[in-house]
């Protein structure tokens, strides 16, 4: 049971009514049973989101009157936060908010009435206690009379016609492909799949990318390390030596309200700046960095004085020499930081809209990778927070690929105008040279470090003196119902129909659930979302 919870999901539809999510009673209470009336419901009503939540002491209703109806055939996201007293619902990261910011020191104005609603839970209960399956896209109800529970507000209960994906509770993503019970629903999203398959570029991006489609258009979103219209071009890493950096000039105007950063990095150093965006005078900034072996994103949106915020991942050391994928999403003063998929301890956020909301990026002088260079003389410079003895790859700003010298000096989105002390690719320093391991162990290059251990596909024997085959199938590598066959060395996945890839991880539109009118998908794991472990 959690003192605080964050639930989010995305949906797409052209229908103005429909249940998106429900968790609560589905049968009448037994005569001698203690009645538990707690529930949560999210639905569309006339194209606007409506949240009902009841801790057992009264129903709170939250509505958001959005500027545009959400039944427009585009993907939308809803975030719901609640603790023991307060509840918030946010639509599309509040990108539709009306913002006014002056440079004369006048306090900024932030009108969130079209994207956020909040309220207080009626006293005196403090927790959401539900002991029923979570239902998505409709309600499975037999002989159920809501009047038994004396709710002040009740769900309308119309079936949802559309698709739902990326259901996340407290940074845990739930796979919607295999519900315990479903009716008139299929995995994937046929409407967006059809759009994806119509164009040659998007129909071929599955192996190294994902087609991101709405009901009207589609594009390829490349996996980290890949680029190109069809995601078929591998990116080239760059090694950063001491006093190294790259300065970019952008060919597009960065969004003031939103900042999206994604990159790959590897290092064995506990400190170093990976990427920064800032205004002309470096008063407003967003900096992704490694500090004390942890990944941080710190940012300041006030050009007159420091109001710095810092989001970091304190449970994950990143100076282990392995490749890591870092992502930053900033919306106004709210920011989300994730690494390597972003589940559990690999995710952190600050999700409040307070104070200044805009970050004005100087697209000619304010974008750096590897540290910010300050010239101390005609030919001398100092790189502050120098990222060294490490590698960067596939830097994206707002989803747009930026070049990394020396392999590439320009893309359609920007040019590398200054670069120092860089090398192509990311080689190790050959630590196994002159290292002799006792048989049967071999020297394994761990990138700038080595270890005498068993070779690929082998593990240490129980007596610690030899190596035996590693049964990778014990770790259930095959996803989406695939069956695992152990081999010496390695393993192989036999994938069910509709899935492919080394681990059966590839499927059109990823983890998405298609729901037709009157459909439902009950995930038969009690407390799946609402009362998962915290």
Residue 293 has pLDDT above 90, yes or no: yes
Question: pLDDT per residue over 303-320, tens digit each?
Answer: 998 999 999 999 999 999
- Two tokens, residue 249: 């000039």
Query: Can you give 79-115 as a three-state secondary structure string?
Result: EEEECCCEEEEEEHHHCCCEEECCCCCCCCEEECCCC
Span 3-12, average pLDDT: 96
pLDDT, tens digit (0-9, with 9 covering 90-100), for 35-80: 788 999 999 999 999 999 999 999 999 999 999 999 999 999 999 9
- What are 152-204's pLDDT values in tens digits? 899 988 999 999 999 999 999 998 988 888 889 999 899 999 999 887 778 77
Whether the CB-CB separation of 93 and 349 falls below 8 Å is answered with no
Kindly indicate the confidence band of residue 528, based on its pLDDT and cuts at 50, 70 and 90: very low
Instruction: Determine the 3-state secondary structure of 474 from DSSP.
Output: helix
Peptide bond into 279 cis (omega under 30): no
Inform me whether the pLDDT recorded for 145 exceeds 80: no
Given a cut of 80, whether residue 392 has pLDDT beyond it is yes
pLDDT (average), residues 483-506: 91
**Residue 195 per-residue DSSP state:** H
The pLDDT value recorded for residue 152 is 87
Q: Is 190 helix (H, G, I), strand (E, B) or coil?
A: helix
Range 146-153, long-range pairs (CB < 8 A, 24+ positions) = 148/28, 148/29, 148/35, 149/25, 149/29, 149/35, 149/37, 149/39, 150/37, 151/37, 151/39, 151/52, 151/54, 151/59, 152/58, 152/59, 152/61, 153/52, 153/59, 153/61
pLDDT recorded at residue 526: 32
pLDDT in tens, 434-456: 999 998 999 999 999 999 999 88
330-377 pLDDT tens trace: 999 999 999 999 999 999 999 999 999 999 999 999 999 999 998 888
Q: What is the pLDDT of residue 509?
A: 45
pTM of the model: 0.88
pLDDT tens column, 94-137: 999 999 998 888 899 999 999 999 999 999 899 999 988 899 99
Place 494 in a pLDDT band, splitting at 50, 70 and 90. very high
Confidence check: pLDDT of 532 > 60: no
* Token reading at 17: 């009514």
DSSP structural state of residue 139 = -
Question: Is it the case that residue 530 has pLDDT exceeding 60?
Answer: no
Q: H/E element holding 350?
A: strand 347-350
| DSSP type of residue 203 | H
The label of the residue with tokens 């950096």 reads 245
* 3 state DSSP class of 198: helix
Among 515, 510, 499, CA closest to 164:
515
Distance CA(496)–CA(200), nearest Å, equals: 25
* HSE value, Cβ hemisphere, 13 Å, CA-based, for 113: 2
Q: Computed over its alpha carbons, how large is the radius of gyration of the chain?
A: 26
The pLDDT confidence band at residue 464, using thresholds 50, 70 and 90, is confident
pLDDT digits (tens, 9 = 90+) for 266-280: 999 999 999 999 999
- Residue 147, pLDDT > 80, answer no
């Amino acid at each position: 049971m959690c003192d605080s919870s964050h639930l989010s999901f995305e949906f797409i539809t052209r229908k103005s009514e429909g249940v998106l999510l429900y968790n609560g009673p589905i049968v009448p209470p037994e005569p001698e049973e203690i009645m538990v009336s707690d529930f949560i419901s999210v639905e569309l009503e006339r194209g606007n989101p409506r949240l009902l939540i009841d801790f057992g002491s009264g129903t709170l209703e939250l509505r958001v009157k959005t500027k545009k109806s959400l039944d427009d055939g585009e993907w939308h996201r809803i975030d719901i936060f609640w603790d023991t007293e307060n509840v918030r619902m946010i639509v599309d990261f509040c990108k539709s908010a009306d913002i006014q910011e002056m440079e004369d020191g006048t306090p900024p104005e932030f009108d969130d009435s079209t994207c956020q609603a909040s309220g207080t839970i009626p006293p005196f209960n403090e927790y959401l206690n539900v002991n029923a399956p979570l239902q998505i896209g409709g309600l499975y109800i037999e002989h159920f009379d809501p009047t038994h529970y004396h709710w002040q507000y009740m769900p309308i209960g119309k079936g949802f016609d559309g698709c739902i994906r990326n259901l996340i509770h407290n940074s845990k993503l739930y796979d919607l492909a295999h519900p315990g019970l479903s009716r008139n629903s299929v995995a994937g999203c046929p409407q967006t799949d059809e759009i994806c398959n119509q164009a040659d570029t998007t129909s071929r991006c599955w192996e190294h990318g994902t087609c991101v489609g709405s009901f009207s258009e589609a594009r390829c979103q490349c996996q980290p390390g890949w680029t190109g219209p069809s995601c078929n071009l591998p990116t080239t890493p760059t090694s950063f030596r001491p006093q190294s950096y790259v300065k970019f000039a952008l060919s597009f105007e960065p969004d003031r309200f939103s900042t999206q950063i994604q990159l790959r990095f590897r290092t064995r150093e506990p400190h170093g700046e990976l990427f920064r965006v800032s205004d002309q005078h470096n008063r407003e900034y967003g900096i992704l960095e490694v500090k004390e072996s942890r990944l941080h994103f710190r940012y300041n949106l006030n050009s007159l004085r420091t109001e710095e915020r810092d989001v970091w991942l304190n449970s994950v050391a990143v100076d282990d020499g392995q490749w890591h994928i870092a992502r930053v999403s900033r919306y106004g003063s709210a920011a989300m930081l994730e690494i390597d998929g972003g589940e559990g301890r690999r995710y952190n956020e600050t999700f409040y809209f307070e104070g200044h909301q805009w970050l004005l990026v100087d697209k000619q002088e304010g974008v750096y990778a590897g540290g910010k260079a300050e010239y101390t003389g005609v030919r001398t410079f100092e790189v502050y927070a120098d990222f060294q003895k490490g590698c960067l790859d596939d830097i994206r700003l707002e989803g747009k690929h930026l070049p990394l010298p020396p392999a590439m000096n320009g893309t359609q989105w920007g040019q590398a105008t200054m670069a120092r002390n860089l090398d192509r690719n990311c080689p190790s320093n050959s630590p196994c040279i002159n290292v002799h391991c006792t048989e049967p162990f071999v020297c394994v290059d761990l990138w700038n470090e080595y270890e005498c251990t068993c070779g690929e596909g082998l593990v240490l024997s129980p007596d610690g003196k030899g190596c035996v085959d590693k049964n990778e199938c014990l770790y259930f590598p095959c996803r989406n119902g695939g069956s695992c066959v152990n081999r010496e060395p390695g393993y192989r996945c036999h994938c069910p129909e509709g899935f492919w890839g080394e681990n059966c991880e590839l499927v059109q539109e990823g983890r998405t659930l298609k729901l037709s009118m009157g459909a439902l998908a009950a995930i038969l794991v009690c407390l799946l979302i609402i009362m998962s472990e915290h």
